[in-house]
Amino acid sequence: MSEGIDEPDKPVIRTGDTPDLFAKFDPLIAMREGLLAGGQEDPFNLVMEKVLSPTRAICNGRDTILLGTYNYMGMTFDEDVIAAGKQALDQFGSGTTGSRVLNGTYRGHKECENALREFYGMDHAMVFSTGYQANLGIISTIAGKGDYIVLDIDSHASIWDGCKLGDAEIVPFKHNDIEAMDKRLGRIPEGAGKLVVLEGVYSMLGDIAPLKEMIAVAKKHGAMVLVDEAHSMGFIGEHGRGVAEAQGVLDDVDFVIGTFSKSVGTVGGFCVSNHPKFEILRLVCRPYVFTASLPPSVVATAATSIRKLMHGSNKRAHLWENSKTLHQGLTGLGFQLGTAEPQSAIVAVIMPDLERGAAMWEALLKEGLYVNLARPPATPANMTLLRCSLCAEHSAEEVQTILGMFERAGKAIGIIG
Ligand code: PMP
């Protein structure tokens, strides 16, 4: 900036005084360096050198049981899914090199949307390049300036970012608190547009939302309802349609958001809806329009996987068994868990602090078990968690092996007696 054009009352920041834009990361850098100083393996830099199956990989040179993936239904190595991907790669090439609204809609994208419509029994389906973009796009496009979004305080980052992008008024309420939600909705000015955003399963503690009651409250106030079923699709509900199906309220949900990066076993995101004007979103939703569409191999794997998940009831039953056995076993060993009863395929083990959480994470890895170490700000109430997510491909014996690993590591680190 040249001398003379500075406004007199504003502080003049000269080159020498310019703050380092990275200064804000110093506390995080210090925390990380402190954690790794004692030779601790970096919990946020694990490399899977070879993936052997949905439940086993070679990690940091060790044969490891995977208990920290979102591969709930174990579809990543499904023969039909892999064959569909290979065929699409051969027939349609490696990428679309364009947006869905220009050159990026192939037959496979339409087939994928048809599979989703059938899976949910809904009129419309829109596929995004990730679940993150699905939340970002749908929320920001339908709720803009002057509208109100009422959302659970523990909502996923993609939901918060979608709210910010759209510039709506953001009104959070206490996690899963129906009364608090009711009060917030009651205070919204007459005539304003209202969107309630909920999740089926909350991914940090693995608890579910009381959707039936919450959706009734939202409807009472005339709000539209969006439910993110990222962690329940494929598993929860008779047909795997999620918590809204399990609680009998799927027909009352205006928008279901989901992802292909969990039970579906590939990558991508989607929204399904019965709203009669839904298709216009394809022209106005920026995270849909201004990005490349998914590669043909990805939509082919997704469509095949979604169709197979419609008939996955045996796998769903086995996954419930696994979740219950792990939950019961860990409780019996004396670990403190995120929920009193198993509510999903996520079992969160609460650690006393980050240091002991990281030590326990490393002890488990040395035993041959990978779990997720989760820490604030991703976690609620500043908790450090070892998040275990089960897979329908874990055998009953593997779950027992996992419990043995937790017992030895927990005693060695002093988490249990
Ligand atoms: N919603 C929720 C609740 C999630 O947990 C996640 C990812 N962990 C997403 C959306 C984003 O999904 P994706 O990985 O497809 O971007």
Q: Mind giving me the DSSP string for 346-407?
A: EEEEEESSHHHHHHHHHHHHHHTEE-EEE-TTSSGGG-EEEEEE--TTS-HHHHHHHHHHHH
Per-residue pLDDT at 378? 85
Looking from the CA of residue 260, the nearest atom of ligand 1 is 15
Percentage of residues in the chain having pLDDT higher than 70: 96
Average confidence (pLDDT) over 283-289: 98
- Residue to mutate, 129, 199, 259, ligand 1, most ligand atoms under 8 Å from C-beta: 259
Element (H or E) spanning 199, and its range? Answer: strand 194-199
The rounded mean pLDDT for the chain is 95
- Ligand 1 site, residue 131, Cβ cutoff 6 A: yes
Per-residue pLDDT tens digits for 155-166: 999 999 999 999
Q: Is 137 in the pocket of ligand 1 (CB under 6 A)?
A: no
Is there an atom of ligand 1 within 6 Å of 269 CB?
yes
Asked if the bond preceding 380 is cis, omega within 30° of 0, the reply is: no
Any ligand 1 atom below 6 A from CB of 132:
yes
Q: Give me the pLDDT at residue 396, please.
A: 97
| Best residue for ligand 1 mutational test, from 72, 129, 261 (most atoms within 8 Å of Cβ) | 261
The Cα–Cα gap between 297 and 85 comes to: 4
13, pLDDT greater than 80: no
Atom of ligand 1 minimally distant from the CA of 202: 3
Residue 261 Cβ inside 6 Å of ligand 1? The answer reads yes
* Beta-sheet pairing, 62-66 with 269-273: unpaired
Residue 11's pLDDT is 55
pLDDT score of 3: 35
Is the pLDDT confidence value at 111 over 60?
yes
pLDDT band at 10 (very low <50, low <70, confident <90, very high): low
Residues 378 and 202: beta-carbon distance below 8 Å: no
Average pLDDT over residues 334-362: 96
Position 39 scores a pLDDT of 85
pTM of the complete model: 0.94
Mean pLDDT to the nearest integer, 261-285: 98
Residue 19 pLDDT grade (very low, low, confident, very high; cuts 50, 70, 90): confident
| Structural domains of the chain in order of their starting residue, each with its CATH number | 39-68+312-413 (3.90.1150.10), 79-309 (3.40.640.10)
What type of residue sits at position 147?
D
AA identity, residue 31: M
200 lines ligand 1 (CB under 6 A): no
How much distance in Å is there from the Cα of 110 to the middle of ligand 1? Answer: 22
Residue 133 Cα: closest atom of ligand 1: 16
Residue that wins the pLDDT comparison between 17 and 335: 335
Place 2 in a pLDDT band, splitting at 50, 70 and 90.
very low
Mean of the pLDDT values across residues 93-97?
Answer: 98
Cα-to-centroid distance, 259 and ligand 1 (Å): 6
* Residue 270, ligand 1, Cβ within 6 A: no
- Is the confidence at residue 6, as pLDDT, over 60? no
Q: Is the ipTM of this complex over 0.90?
A: yes
| One-letter amino acid of 134 | A
Average pLDDT over residues 345-353: 97
- 230 C-alpha to ligand 1 centroid (Å): 6
pLDDT for the residue 180: 98
